[in-house]
Amino acid sequence: LNTFTYAQKTAEAPAISEKTLNSILEKNRTYYTQGKVADYIPELGKMDAKAIAFSVVDKNGKVYNTGDVSKKFTMQSISKIIALMIAVTERGEANVFDKMGYFGSDKPFNHFSNLETTGKPLNPMMNAGAILTTSLISGDGDKPFLKVLDMVRFITKNPTIEYSKSVYESEKATGHRNRGMFYLMKNNGLISGNEDQLDNYFRQCSIELTAEDLAKIGYFFANQCVRFDGDTTYKNAEIAKLIESQMLTAGMYEFSGEYSRTVGLPSKSGVGGGITVSVPGKMGIGVFSPSLDQHGNSLAGYHMILDMVKQFGLSIF
Ligand code: DON
Q: Which residue among 73, 78, 109 is best mutated to probe the pocket of ligand 1, counting the most ligand atoms within 8 A of its Cβ?
A: 109
What pLDDT score was predicted for residue 15?
A: 83
Positions marked catalytic: 77, 80, 201, 253, 271
**Atom 8 in ligand 1: which residue has the minimum CA distance?**
77
Ligand 1 atom at minimal distance to the Cα of residue 77? 9
- Residue list for the binding site for substrate: 77, 127, 171, 178, 201, 253, 271
Give the pLDDT of residue 1.
Answer: 37
What is the Å distance from ligand 1's center to 134 Cα?
14
The ligand 1 atom at the shortest distance from the C-alpha of residue 171 is: 5
Ligand 1 centre from 127 Cα, in Å?
Answer: 7
Task: Note the Cα 132 to chain centre separation in Å.
Answer: 17
Report the C-alpha gap between 278 and 303 in whole angstroms. Answer: 16
Residue 13 pLDDT: 60
Per-residue pLDDT of the chain (317 residues; tens, 9 = 90+): 345 555 655 555 668 999 999 999 999 999 999 999 999 999 999 999 999 999 999 999 999 999 999 999 999 999 999 999 999 999 999 999 999 999 998 999 999 999 999 999 999 999 999 999 999 999 999 999 999 999 999 999 999 999 999 999 999 999 999 999 999 999 999 999 999 999 999 999 999 999 999 999 999 999 999 999 999 999 999 999 999 999 999 999 999 999 999 999 999 999 999 999 999 999 999 999 999 999 999 999 999 999 999 999 999 99
How many angstroms separate the alpha carbon of residue 211 from the centre of ligand 1? 18
Q: Which residues are annotated as a binding site?
A: 77, 127, 171, 178, 201, 253, 271
For ligand 1, the distance from its centroid to the CA atom of residue 16, given in whole angstroms, is 32
**In the structure, which protein residues have their CB atom closer than 6 angstroms to any atom of ligand 1?**
76-77, 109-110, 127, 171, 178, 205, 269-271, 296
Q: Quick check: pTM over 0.90? A: yes
Q: Provide the pLDDT for residue 192.
A: 94
Kindly list the structural domains of the chain, giving each domain's residue range(s) and its CATH number in brackets, ordered by start: 18-312 (3.40.710.10)
Report the residue among 44, 166, 271 best suited for mutation to probe ligand 1: largest number of ligand atoms under 8 A from its CB: 271
Whether residue 103 contacts residue 113, with contact meaning beta carbons closer than 8 Å, is answered with no
Residues paired with 268 in a beta bridge: 276
Q: Label residue 117 exposed, middle or buried (CB < 10 Å: 0-12, 13-18, 19+).
A: exposed
Round to whole Å and give the CA distance between 22 and 128: 37
The radius of gyration of the chain from alpha carbons, rounded to an integer in Å, stands at 18
CA 186 centroid distance within chain: 25
Centre of ligand 1 to C-alpha 175, Å, is: 10
* Residues facing 218 on adjacent strands: none
